[in-house]
Amino acid sequence: MSALEKKLLKKLRHAITDFEMIKEWEIVILWVSWWKDSMVLWYLLSKYRKIAKDKFDIKAIYIFKDFLIDCDINFLEKQKYFQDELWIPLEKVVLSLPKESKLNEWLWQNCQWCAYARRIAMFKLCEKYGATKIIYGHHMDDIVVTSFMNMIEWRKLKIMPPKNKMNLGDITFIRPLAYIREKEILRFAQLNNIPFSSCNCPIWSNWMRNKIKHQIIWENEKIIPKFVENIFWALIKDFKEKYEKDWYNM
């Protein structure tokens, strides 16, 4: 095991234990995308599960959205990787839209609708498998960028927390990569030849998230040491003081 893998596993373990993300014998649903964040998360979780004191079961799910363009990227390759290298079966679920939906025309696609439709599908899978946790691959940079988005676009101070529970139902979202930087994830994926793909969504390049990340967050990090880390820990401290008791119900 490399020094980088040990470092990332330690950060993953601390995030899981600090926020009590996974309990013993729980069934957790992993939403799989082909991005580096998602693929590295599943790799680390497969390693963590072997050494974790509290054993748990993983259901890896890939949701194919047939109303989007070129999103089904090398599914068989990734499925083989999951099953042969990580020993985690990967299930594919096809998500369709009604024929009359305007979202069948790519021009009308939007990130909010895509995320909403995918989330509803995940809720149904939780019911199918008796799971109460959905795991996302959001990392430290994602949490900081989302917080900036909430301020800039929605005029509110709100963090995307490492763990939050839905008001309706018994579903909790957890983000075990919360303590890990995006640059660490990319380096790890490259060094370990983890297969990952970029998103081919036609509206991705103009997404506000990318503009905030590249033009605000990463530009400031060039001149201010630990810019992302310091903002992240300030957000986490505020979150714990205000919302940890009810896990930031949504």
Report the pLDDT value the prediction gives residue 178, as an integer from 0 to 100. 97
Domains of the chain, by residue range, sit at 3-243
More confident residue, 78 or 16: 16
- Is the pLDDT at 146 greater than 60? The verdict is yes
- What is the rounded average pLDDT of the residues 101-117? 61
pTM: 0.87
Residues in the chain: 250
Percent of the chain scoring above 90 in pLDDT = 40
Q: Beta partners for 60?
A: 30, 90
What distance in Å separates the CA atoms of residue 6 and residue 133, rounded to the nearest whole number? 25
- Is the pLDDT at 110 greater than 70? The verdict is no
Amino acid at 227: F
Report the pLDDT value the prediction gives residue 66, as an integer from 0 to 100. 66
pLDDT in tens, 53-63: 888 999 988 88
Percent of the chain scoring above 70 in pLDDT = 82
Band (107; pLDDT cuts 50, 70, 90): very low
Band (16; pLDDT cuts 50, 70, 90): very high
- Is the pLDDT at 77 greater than 50? The verdict is yes
More confident residue, 93 or 134: 134
pLDDT in tens, 157-208: 888 899 988 776 689 999 999 999 999 999 999 999 888 877 666 665 557 8
What distance in Å separates the CA atoms of residue 8 and residue 227, rounded to the nearest whole number? 20
Superfamily of chain region 3-243: HUPs (3.40.50.620)
